[in-house]
């Protein structure tokens, strides 16, 4: 199975070498890794270029975008820029530049995708540094495939229409995969080190964007309140709850464009409610 990986990178000099070292050390190498340097002001490009000179399957592109940080949209736009330069692939991955993969990561992924023709998305789990140990990054269920380590089968990626350019892209893709009949799977044994915890440097605007994303996924206000409460409890931040609701209402008043159709939205709400009731 041909594996293409796109790594959007903006000022990732502190982490990129360790990240690419983990790709180089794989027991089953990906066929191509494309690092997209998105307007970095540090040594991101130089580090990536050094790897590309030594390993021909690593490529480096430069993308000049606006300096403004646009949650979700900027990283998806950068990924799509790299996607345009990929070869024909069987598995396509969107990976972050601040992760370290275990050596058998892609070997395990290939085995799983080959064993299950319905498998549309698969990943390991993310762990963050806690003291001397690495602990599970507990901001999502262990069944959820996290944004920094997204690996899709081509059939699934095409069926869901690629990635949505905005916050929530790494949730709506999983829901749409299930809507279209694909399986998703996480592998607890594959522990991926996340060098920069999610939410580092988050602002009020970032939290409001979560509410906007829930609106665009057609959650509805009641389900949004439940989701916002869960996120706030996991993050231990009451402020997150109110800002998420504010973001949802803001999108509702502005009649923002949805990520999904009415039929897809109906499936998403039903799927989420079934998950909630199953835990009560």
> Is residue 89 situated within a structural domain?
yes
pLDDT of amino acid 200: 47
Q: From CA 241, how far away is CA 213, in angstroms rounded?
A: 14
Q: From CA 154, how far away is CA 121, in angstroms rounded?
A: 10
- Widest Cα–Cα separation across the chain: 54
Region 245-264: what's the mean pLDDT?
95
Residues 177, 156 contacting (CB under 8 angstroms):
yes
CATH code of the domain containing 84: 3.90.550.10
Query: Do 131 and 227 belong together in one domain?
Result: no
Domain count, the chain: 2
Region 239-263: what's the mean pLDDT?
94
DSSP string, 171-212: HHHHHHHHHTT-EEEEEEEEEEEESS-TTTT--HHHHHHHHH
> Is residue 199 situated within a structural domain?
no
Domain residue limits at 225: 204-278
5 forms beta bridges with 33, 93
Query: Do 40 and 21 belong together in one domain?
Result: yes
pLDDT bucket at 134, cuts 50 / 70 / 90: very high
pLDDT at 274 over 50: yes
Region 226-250: what's the mean pLDDT?
90
User: Tens of pLDDT along 65-113?
Assistant: 766 666 678 999 999 999 999 999 999 999 999 999 999 999 999 999 9
> Is residue 16 situated within a structural domain?
yes
| Whether pTM exceeds 0.75 | yes
Query: Do 218 and 181 belong together in one domain?
Result: no
Residues 196, 98 contacting (CB under 8 angstroms):
yes
> Is residue 29 situated within a structural domain?
yes
Domain end: 194, 213, 229, which one? 194
126 forms beta bridges with 192
Residues 97, 7 contacting (CB under 8 angstroms):
yes
Query: Do 140 and 243 belong together in one domain?
Result: no
């Amino acid at each position: 199975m041909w594996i293409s990986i796109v790594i959007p990178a903006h000022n990732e000099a502190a982490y990129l070498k360790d990240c690419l070292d983990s790709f180089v050390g794989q027991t089953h190498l990906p066929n191509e890794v494309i690092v997209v340097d998105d307007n970095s002001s540090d040594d991101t490009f130089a580090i990536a270029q050094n790897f590309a000179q030594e390993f021909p399957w690593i490529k480096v592109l430069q993308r000049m975008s606006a300096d403004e940080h646009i949650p979700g949209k900027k990283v998806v736009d950068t990924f799509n820029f790299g996607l345009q330069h990929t070869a024909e692939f069987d598995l396509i991955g969107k990976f972050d530049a601040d992760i370290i993969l275990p050596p058998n990561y892609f070997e395990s992924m290939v085995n799983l995708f080959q064993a299950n023709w319905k498998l549309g998305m698969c990943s390991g789990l993310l762990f963050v540094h806690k003291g001397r140990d690495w602990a599970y990054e507990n901001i999502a269920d262990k069944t959820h495939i996290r944004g920094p380590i997204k690996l899709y089968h081509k059939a699934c990626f095409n069926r869901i229409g690629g990635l949505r350019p905005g916050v929530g892209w790494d949730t709506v893709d999983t829901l749409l995969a299930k809507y279209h009949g694909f399986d998703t799977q996480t592998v607890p044994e594959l522990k991926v080190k996340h060098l920069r915890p999610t939410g580092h440097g988050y602002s009020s605007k970032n939290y409001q964007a979560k509410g906007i994303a829930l609106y665009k996924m057609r959650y509805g206000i009641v389900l949004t309140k439940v989701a916002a409460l869960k996120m706030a409890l996991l993050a231990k931040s009451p402020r997150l709850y109110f800002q998420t609701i504010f973001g949802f209402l803001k999108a509702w008043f502005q009649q923002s464009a949805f990520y999904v159709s009415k039929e897809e939205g109906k499936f998403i709400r039903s799927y989420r409610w079934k998950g909630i009731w199953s835990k009560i």
